[in-house]
Chains A and B, each alone.
Chain A
Amino acid sequence: MTSPENSSPTERIGVYVCHCGTNIAGTVDVEDVAQWAAGRLKHRGVVIARDYKFMCSSLGQEMIEKDIKELGLTRVVVAACSPHLHEQTFRTACKRAGLNPYLCELVSIREQVSWVHTDKVAATGKAKAVLSGGVERVLHHEALEPLRVPIHPATLVVGGGIAGIQAALEIADGGFPVIMVEREPSIGGHMAQFDKTFPTLDCAACILTPKMVSVGTHPNITLLTYSEVTKVDGYVGNFTVTVRKKARCVKTDLCTGCGVCQEKCPKKIIDEIYEAGLGYRKAIYVPFPQAVPKYPVIDRENCTYFQKGTCKACEKFCPTGAIDFNQEDEYITLQVGNIILATGYDLFDPRRIPHYGYGRLANVFTSLEFERLSNAAGPTNGRIVLRDGVTVPKAVGVVHCVGSRDRNYNNYCSAICCMQSLKFAHLVKERTGATVFNFYIDMRTAAKAYDEFYQRVLEEGTLFVRGRVAEVTDAARLAGEEGKLIIQVEDTLAGKQRRIPVDMVILSAGMQPRADAKEAAKLFGISCSADGWYIEKHPKLDPVATMTEGIFIAGCVQGPKDIPNTVVQGAAAAARVLGRIQQKEIALEPIRASIIEARCSGCRICNNLCPFNAILFHEDRMVSEVNPALCQGCGTCVAACPAGAITGTGFSNEQVLSQIEGLLMLNLDGGRRVAEKAEAVLA
Chain B
Amino acid sequence: MTKYLLYPGCSLESNARAYHDSLMAISGPLGLELEEIHDWNCCGATEYVGISLTPAYALISRNLALAAKQANGTRTVVAPCSACYLNLAKADYYMRESPKLGVKVNTALAAGDMHYTPGSLQIRHLLDVIMNDIGLETVKRGVVRPLTGLRVAPYLGCMVPRPDYEHRWSNPEYPTELDRVLKALGAEVIDFPLKTHCCGGHMTQIGPDVAYELIRRLVHAAAEYRADMMVTLCPMCQLNIDAYQGEMNRHFGTNYRMPILFFTQLMGLAFGKEPEELGIGKELVNARAALARIGVEVPPAEAAPAPRKPRRPKEALPMPHMPEDMEVNQ
Complex alpha-carbon distance, A334 and B193, angstroms: 55
B297 contacts partner chain A, Cβ-Cβ < 8 Å: no
B174–A359 touching, CB < 8 Å: no
A354 contacts partner chain B, Cβ-Cβ < 8 Å: yes
B313–A475 touching, CB < 8 Å: no
Shortest Cβ gap from A149 to chain B (Å): 49
Neighbouring B residues of A270 by C-beta, 8 Å: 318
B217–A358 touching, CB < 8 Å: no
Most buried by A among B221, B224, B319: B319
Neighbouring B residues of A433 by C-beta, 8 Å: none
Neighbouring B residues of A379 by C-beta, 8 Å: 317
B316–A473 touching, CB < 8 Å: no
A389–B315 touching, CB < 8 Å: yes
Stretch from B103-111, B241-249, B321-329 that touches the partner? B321-329
With A359-B322, A360-B191 in contact, is A389–B174 under 8 Å at CB?
no
Shortest Cβ gap from B224 to chain A (Å): 8
Shortest Cβ gap from B131 to chain A (Å): 18
B288 contacts partner chain A, Cβ-Cβ < 8 Å: no
Q: Which A274-291 residues have C-beta < 8 A from chain B?
A: 277-280
B171 contacts partner chain A, Cβ-Cβ < 8 Å: yes
A359–B316 touching, CB < 8 Å: no
A362–B217 touching, CB < 8 Å: no
Task: For B176, give the chain A residue with the smallest CB separation.
Answer: A354
B112 contacts partner chain A, Cβ-Cβ < 8 Å: no
B193–A473 touching, CB < 8 Å: yes
A387 contacts partner chain B, Cβ-Cβ < 8 Å: yes
Task: For A471, give the chain B residue with the smallest CB separation.
Answer: B173
B253 contacts partner chain A, Cβ-Cβ < 8 Å: no
Shortest Cβ gap from A503 to chain B (Å): 14
Q: Which B296-330 residues have C-beta < 8 A from chain A?
A: 312-323, 326, 328
Shortest Cβ gap from B24 to chain A (Å): 34
Complex alpha-carbon distance, A272 and B321, angstroms: 10
Shortest Cβ gap from B222 to chain A (Å): 10
With A277-B318, A277-B321 in contact, is A360–B173 under 8 Å at CB?
no
B193–A277 touching, CB < 8 Å: no
B316–A387 touching, CB < 8 Å: yes
Shortest Cβ gap from A264 to chain B (Å): 21
Task: For A350, give the chain B residue with the smallest CB separation.
Answer: B320
A359–B326 touching, CB < 8 Å: yes
A477–B326 touching, CB < 8 Å: no
Total number of residue pairs linking A and B with CB closer than 8 Å: 58
Neighbouring A residues of B323 by C-beta, 8 Å: 351
B32 contacts partner chain A, Cβ-Cβ < 8 Å: no
Partner among A279, A354, A388, A389 whose Cβ is within 8 Å of the Cβ of B173: A354
Complex alpha-carbon distance, A389 and B313, angstroms: 8
Complex alpha-carbon distance, A389 and B171, angstroms: 31
Q: Which A372-406 residues have C-beta < 8 A from chain B?
A: 379-380, 387-390
Complex alpha-carbon distance, A193 and B259, angstroms: 51
Neighbouring A residues of B193 by C-beta, 8 Å: 360, 473-475
A390–B315 touching, CB < 8 Å: yes
B322–A351 touching, CB < 8 Å: yes
B319–A362 touching, CB < 8 Å: yes
Shortest Cβ gap from B317 to chain A (Å): 5
Q: Which B172-226 residues have C-beta < 8 A from chain A?
A: 173-174, 191, 193-194, 217, 220-221, 224
Shortest Cβ gap from A353 to chain B (Å): 8
Partner among B171, B174, B217 whose Cβ is within 8 Å of the Cβ of A475: B217
A355–B322 touching, CB < 8 Å: no
Neighbouring A residues of B318 by C-beta, 8 Å: 270, 277-280
Task: For B220, give the chain A residue with the smallest CB separation.
Answer: A477
Instruction: Convert A470-507 into 0s and 1s, putting 1 for each residue whose CB lies closer than 8 angstroms to a CB of B.
Output: 00011111000000000000000000000000000000
Neighbouring B residues of A390 by C-beta, 8 Å: 313, 315
Complex alpha-carbon distance, A157 and B321, angstroms: 33
Task: For A379, give the chain B residue with the smallest CB separation.
Answer: B317
A475–B319 touching, CB < 8 Å: no
Complex alpha-carbon distance, A388 and B328, angstroms: 17
Shortest Cβ gap from B45 to chain A (Å): 26
Task: For A473, give the chain B residue with the smallest CB separation.
Answer: B193
B217–A360 touching, CB < 8 Å: no
Q: Which A328-371 residues have C-beta < 8 A from chain B?
A: 351, 354-355, 358-360, 362
Pull 22 A–B residue pairs with CB atoms less than 8 Å apart, ordered by A.
Answer: A270-B318, A272-B321, A277-B318, A277-B320, A278-B318, A351-B320, A351-B323, A354-B173, A354-B174, A354-B326, A355-B174, A358-B320, A359-B319, A359-B326, A362-B319, A387-B316, A387-B317, A387-B319, A388-B317, A389-B316, A473-B193, A477-B217
A interface, CB within 8 angstroms of B: 270, 272, 277-280, 351, 354-355, 358-360, 362, 379-380, 387-390, 473-477
**With A358-B320, A362-B319 given, can you name 4 additional A-B contacts, CB distance below 8 Å?**
A272-B321, A359-B326, A387-B319, A389-B315
